[in-house]
């Protein structure tokens, strides 16, 4: 019994140390984050969905061109497929990676072509905040028109056609235009604390609040780990599995008390379903540690000893 008490005390001390370490590691945008580069990026693909068997095969689309903006260099950059190792170095050293729908598209497309684990990097996906607020997706072109008074000149399918024609220059020009729009939208939302979009129902300009740049975002694994160690509720944006009709469901926000973290899954109490659920980590789009605390069954047992 004495050995068991020692084990309980050691475990509690370890959890306290982990909690304090995690809290000291937090920082707001503008402190430690400001010392590293901020990289805004977008990419174009070699193939479209019809050529790879659908949206479930993002890893097969291939990368024709990556466009990026480096705040540290104050420069727009482009990388062709043979130059992706150079872009990997830029990403790996960045303090923040900004993009639009990059968690759901660009990062999965890029991952097979680089060695760094992209999901571990600090990412700010501008679409995440918008989906969380509105409950539906808004196109980048709609946000650009309403917020910046500008518009996209082409789309991803046109970029694929240029690839087939060997028109790399056109792809680079279009890709950098999207990078510029994303950069300007990010800056607009960071300073104004909102962005605008054109409503499909009314055609009118609507506003949605955003919190870009208020706090440097954690990677998903880091946020999950901190939430579990500190026993704090985590807010997830989680993509459900595809339906039987082959149509992917819209990612939904839910609050979870994590009870166990596995290699590829997280188990915990889901407040949306009011039941214990298992979540696949590769479907977690974003994770934000909240203020609410909770206790697990093991915590209760330890308190009784």
pTM across the whole model: 0.64
Which of 26-35, 100-109, 128-137 has the highest mean predicted lDDT (pLDDT)?
100-109
When pLDDT is averaged across residues 143-158 and rounded to a whole number, the result is: 91
Could you tell me which of 192, 83, 200 has the C-alpha nearest to residue 141? 200
Written as six digits, the tokens of 284 are 């977690």
Comparing 109 with 17, which gets the higher pLDDT? 109
What's the confidence (pLDDT) of residue 298?
75
DSSP 245: T
Q: Which structure tokens are listed for 195?
A: 């962005």
Share above pLDDT 70 across residues of the chain, in percent, rounded to a whole number? 80
Q: What is the pLDDT of residue 283?
A: 80
Q: Specify whether the CB–CB gap between 217 and 123 falls below 8 A.
A: yes
Q: Residue 198 corresponds to which tokens in the numbers above? A: 């054109």
Quote the pLDDT of residue 20.
Answer: 44
Express each pLDDT in 166-199 by its tens digit.
999 999 999 999 999 999 999 999 988 889 998 8
Average confidence score pLDDT of the chain: 83
Taken in order of first residue, the domains within the chain and their CATH numbers are 36-209 (3.30.420.10), 217-304 (2.30.30)
Average confidence (pLDDT) over 33-42 = 79
Residue 145 to residues 26, 149, 150: CA-CA distances in angstroms?
A: 35, 5, 5
């Amino acid at each position: 019994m004495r050995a068991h008490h020692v084990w309980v005390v050691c475990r509690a001390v370890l959890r306290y140390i982990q909690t304090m370490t995690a809290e000291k590691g937090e920082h707001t945008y503008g402190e430690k984050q400001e010392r590293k580069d901020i990289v805004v990026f977008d990419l174009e693909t070699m193939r479209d969905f019809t050529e790879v068997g659908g949206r479930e095969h993002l890893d097969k689309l291939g990368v024709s061109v990556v466009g990026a903006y480096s705040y540290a260099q104050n420069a727009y950059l482009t990388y062709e497929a043979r130059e992706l190792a150079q872009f990997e170095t830029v990403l790996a050293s960045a303090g923040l990676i900004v993009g639009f729908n990059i968690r759901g598209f660009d990062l999965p497309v890029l991952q097979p072509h680089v060695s760094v684990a992209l999901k571990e990097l600090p990412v700010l996906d501008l679409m995440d905040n918008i989906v969380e607020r509105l409950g539906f997706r808004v196109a980048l072109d709609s946000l650009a028109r309403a917020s910046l008074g500008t518009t996209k000149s082409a789309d991803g399918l046109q970029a694929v056609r240029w690839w087939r024609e060997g028109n790399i220059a056109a792809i680079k020009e279009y890709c950098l235009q999207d990078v510029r729009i994303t950069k300007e939208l990010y800056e607009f939302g960071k300073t104004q604390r909102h962005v605008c979009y054109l409503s499909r129902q009314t055609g009118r300009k609507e506003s949605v609040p955003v919190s870009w740049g208020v706090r440097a975002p954690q990677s998903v694994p880091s946020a999950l780990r901190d939430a579990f160690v500190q026993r704090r509720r985590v807010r997830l944006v989680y993509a459900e599995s595809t339906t039987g009709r082959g149509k992917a469901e819209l990612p939904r926000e839910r609050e979870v008390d994590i009870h166990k973290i596995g290699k590829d899954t997280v188990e915990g109490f889901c407040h949306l379903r009011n039941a214990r659920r298992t979540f696949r980590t590769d479907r977690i789009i974003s994770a934000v540690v909240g203020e609410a605390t909770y206790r697990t069954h093991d915590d209760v047992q330890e308190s009784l000893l």
